[in-house]
Amino acid sequence: MSSPVLIGYARTSTTDQKAGLEAQLRDLQAAGCTKIFKEEISSVADKRPELDKALEWVREGDILVVTKLDRLARSVADLVTITGRLKEKGVELRILTMNLDTSTPTGKLMLNLLGSIAEFERELMLERQREGIAKAKAEGRYTGRQPTAQRKAHEVLKLKAEGKNVPQIVEALGISRASVFRILKEAA
């Protein structure tokens, strides 16, 4: 029987995390991955095109390899969806930092437990963040992030006055159509 093909997937949240991506690529190559899919995109993004490509690429008997669980899934539900797709195709999952391999019953159990713990930790972090924001607001120290489009309201109105249409304003300023319409409506 031939040995399984190892397919790697690496992801960082931003382009500023070059070193993290390079470390993942190095680890995946050292693990023996013959093909590696990589992307610089937030895990909360609706689409992760390279992950989708990796999930399409893998074939029965292959092993999808990631360095860490959080590089692959954003929640337990996401993890269940991804592992379900892998299982349908007869593909196993290996997480290097955990020495976890879903081809074993223990690996499957550990993956589910770790996914639940990761989601729990994320919920706690978000709760602490909300509490911190509420406290800062109560003390008058929190103003929040200024909406990007609102900072460009003057430029929107100037371009409109120059005879530019909405698509031209969107292109020139890099803001959404909805933002342009909202600014124009507020100014009317």
Q: How many CB atoms lie within 10 A of CB 131?
A: 10
Task: For residue 40, give Cα distances in angstroms to 4, 51, 120.
Answer: 27, 11, 25
What is the per-residue pLDDT across 20-78, written as a single tens digit (0 to 9) for each? 899 999 999 999 999 999 998 876 667 899 999 999 999 999 999 999 988 998 777 78
Answer yes or no: 176 catalytic. Answer: no
Q: Of residues 2, 13, 103, 179, which has the active-site annotation?
A: 13
Residue 1: pLDDT over 60: no
Q: Of 143-147, 154-158, 175-179, which gets the smallest average pLDDT?
A: 143-147
pLDDT recorded at residue 15: 62
State the pLDDT at residue 81. 87
Q: What is the mean pLDDT of the chain?
A: 88
Ranking 12-26, 53-67, 147-161 by mean pLDDT, the lowest is 12-26
Looking at the predicted structure, is the pLDDT value of residue 113 above 60?
yes
Per-residue pLDDT, 44 = 67
6-119, CATH topology level: Rossmann fold (3.40.50)
pLDDT at 13: 80
Q: What is the 3-state secondary structure (H, E, C) of the chain?
A: CCCCCEEEEEEECCCCCHHHHHHHHHHHHHCCCCEEEEEECCCCCCCCHHHHHHHHHCCCCCEEEECCHHHCCCCHHHHHHHHHHHHHCCCEEEEHHHCEECCCHHHHHHHHHHHHHHHHHHHHHHHHHHHHHHHHHHCCCCCCCCCHHHHCHHHHHHHHHCCCCHHHHHHHHCCCHHHHHHHHHHHC
pLDDT at residue 59, as a whole number: 95
pTM score? 0.61
